[in-house]
Structures are given as C-alpha cells and as structure tokens.
C-alpha cells in the first residue's frame, strides 16, 4: 500500500506510523466515561474512514488519510493540521 504524502509524494506505508481512526475527539470537559470511550473504544468500520498516519521516515508530519478499510484504496491524504484549521473555520 502506498500513501501520497502532500510534501514527499508517493511513499510506501513502511515509512509511516499508523495512529488510527481520526474521528474520535478528546472530551473538553472532565468526564471519566467519555474519556474512557475516547481513549479505548473504537468502532470497527468496514469501508471508507479518515485515519491519522505519521510520516516518521519522511517529512514527520501528521496526515489525515481517507482509506477504505476493506479494499485499502486510498482516496486522499492531507496534512492533519491543514484539515483541522479548515474545520475550525
């Protein structure tokens, strides 16, 4: 599987570290049950999801990669910081 890094270009996934599903967000208020859900519980989605990948052996940037978990087809890869900035607008 290859990921097209916006800075480095097309690279093998061996250069990346997988973090997981990009959807969970850290709770903003102290709530033990919500934090346990955020930290430990994940849906096992079959199909396209957004994931976080770190380009450890490249530009050392976090990417948000849209990938189908069944076919492993990658639809897009953008810098996670850029996406977070756009979502905050």
Residue 13: helix, strand or coil by DSSP? helix
Residue from 16, 22, 53, 55 in contact with Zn ion (CB under 5 A): 55
Site string for Zn ion, 14-53 (x = CB under 5 A): ----------------------------------------
What are the respective helix, strand and coil percentages of the chain, to the nearest 5? 25, 35, 40
Nearest approach in angstroms of CB 6 to Zn ion is 7
Q: Which is nearer to Zn ion, 59 or 83 (CB)?
A: 59
| Residue 27: C-alpha distances to residues 35, 42, 46, 53 (Å) | 6, 15, 25, 22
Nearest approach in angstroms of CB 89 to Zn ion is 24
């Amino acid at each position: 599987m290859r990921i097209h890094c916006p800075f480095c270009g097309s690279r093998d996934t061996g250069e990346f570290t997988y973090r997981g599903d990009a959807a969970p967000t850290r709770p903003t208020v102290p709530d033990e049950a919500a934090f346990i859900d955020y930290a430990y519980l994940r849906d096992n989605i079959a199909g396209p999801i957004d994931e976080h990948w770190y380009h450890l052996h490249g530009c050392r940037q976090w990417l948000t990669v849209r990938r189908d978990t069944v076919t492993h087809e990658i639809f897009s890869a953008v810098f996670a910081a850029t996406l977070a900035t756009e979502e905050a607008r």
